[in-house]
A and B are shown apart, each in its own frame.
Chain A
Amino acid sequence: GESVGLHLPTLSVQEGDNSIINCAYSNSASDYFIWYKQESGKGPQFIIDIRSNMDKRQGQRVTVLLNKTVKHLSLQIAATQPGDSAVYFCAENSLRVFSGGYNKLIFGAGTRLAVHP
């Protein structure tokens, strides 16, 4: 279904290390993927997106990798900083499957990133 699970995994890293957050998406027909960061008491903040015709995209300190064969998405954060501590969500959209041509994001359960000094 389209609901997400109860478990929220936590990734703990040391400041300055690289972080890798993983996401398994639900539908092989998904066309578009977004990563969001949500800090406590705030709405999700856009980090980076990627379309299904790409397998890698880089931003400032972040890289998203897409493996369509195993329906896996990852977000790599270089030189992780305390300000990166938050919950990270991946989201998918498919014009054909979910949305009929419109905006409808299906979110993963999220991963909590804890950065220690």
Chain B
Amino acid sequence: KAGVTQTPRYLIKTRGQQVTLSCSPISGHRSVSWYQQTPGQGLQFLFEYFSETQRNKGNFPGRFSGRQFSNSRSEMNVSTLELGDSALYLCASSDRTGLVIQYFGPGTRLLVL
């Protein structure tokens, strides 16, 4: 099976802009979670989508949002970008929700100037 894919892999934006990142989970996986990774804060949970519904959300401002489509593909959006949003954004998928293994994609590296 193909792994989790994320597009784009690299992105440069300026403050105030918005950005949309895409994630395609492993075939058959219905849960998609998003994480932000920075040198200062490490890996932090953003949100999880399962069957097109947001099931859980981390401690991030409302500028961070997401959605999931009927084919389980997911997008996350960050509006009004700030310098501190520069990070590696990781998507992880699993076949169900709960205490299960999450498989990560390669990430999208976002740089905000």
Contacts and interface: CB of A to CB of B under 8 A. Distances in A.
Q: Do A and B bind each other?
A: yes
Contacts of A99: 56
B45 to A, nearest CB: 5
Interface residues of A, number: 33
Contacts of B44: 2-4, 107
Contacts of A2: 44-45, 58-59
Contacts of B58: 2, 104
Given A107-B42, A110-B42, A102 B104 contact: no
Given A51-B99, A103-B100, A43 B56 contact: no
Contact of A46 (B39, B55, B99, B101): B101
Contacts, number: 87
- Tell me which of A36, A41, A105, A108 has the highest count of chain B C-beta atoms within 10 A of its own C-beta: A105
Interface string B71-113: 0000000000000000000101010011111111111000000
Interface residues of B, number: 31
A3 B101 contact: no
A4 B41 CA distance: 5
A2 B104 CA distance: 20
B22 to A, nearest CB: 15
Contacts of A89: 43
Given A3-B42, A102-B97, 20 more contacts: A4-B44, A43-B4, A43-B104, A43-B106, A43-B107, A44-B90, A44-B104, A46-B102, A46-B104, A91-B43, A100-B56, A103-B31, A103-B97, A103-B98, A103-B100, A104-B33, A104-B45, A105-B33, A106-B45, A107-B35
